[in-house]
């Protein structure tokens, strides 16, 4: 189980990069998916940060969750 949690940082990183790509799209649908991708990456980073004791990462991700939820609702 420890190895799986150690490896969690890689899908979290990939989800973050894909979300950033989508959020930069001129298409509303892709931007919206990007914010949902960010929320997925936030959840993965929170799990990883909690497991590794990186509590600053956890707090950062909680703040970013709020911003990404705002993005979901304000996507134009």
- Cβ neighbors of 38 (< 8 A, separation 6 or more) are 15, 16, 19, 20, 23, 64, 68, 71
User: For 55-64, which contacts have Cβ atoms below 8 Å and span 24 or more sequence positions?
Assistant: 64/38
What is the predicted pLDDT for the residue at 7? Answer: 93
Please give the pLDDT value at position 61: 98
What was the pLDDT predicted at 30? 95
pLDDT in tens, the chain (76 residues): 778 888 999 999 999 999 999 999 999 999 999 999 999 999 999 999 999 999 999 999 999 999 999 999 988 6
pLDDT of residue 75: 84
- Residues of the domain holding 55: 2-74
| The predicted structure's pLDDT at residue 5 | 85
Q: How many domains does the chain have?
A: 1
Find, among 1, 13, 3, 4, the residue nearest to 45 by Cα.
13
């Amino acid at each position: 189980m420890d190895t799986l949690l150690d490896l969690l940082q890689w899908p979290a990183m990939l989800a973050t990069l894909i979300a950033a790509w989508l959020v930069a799209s001129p298409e509303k649908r892709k931007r919206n998916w990007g914010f949902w991708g960010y929320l997925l990456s936030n959840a993965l980073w929170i799990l990883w940060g909690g497991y590794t004791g990186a509590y600053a990462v956890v707090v950062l991700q909680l703040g970013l969750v709020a911003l990404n939820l705002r993005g979901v609702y304000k996507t134009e």
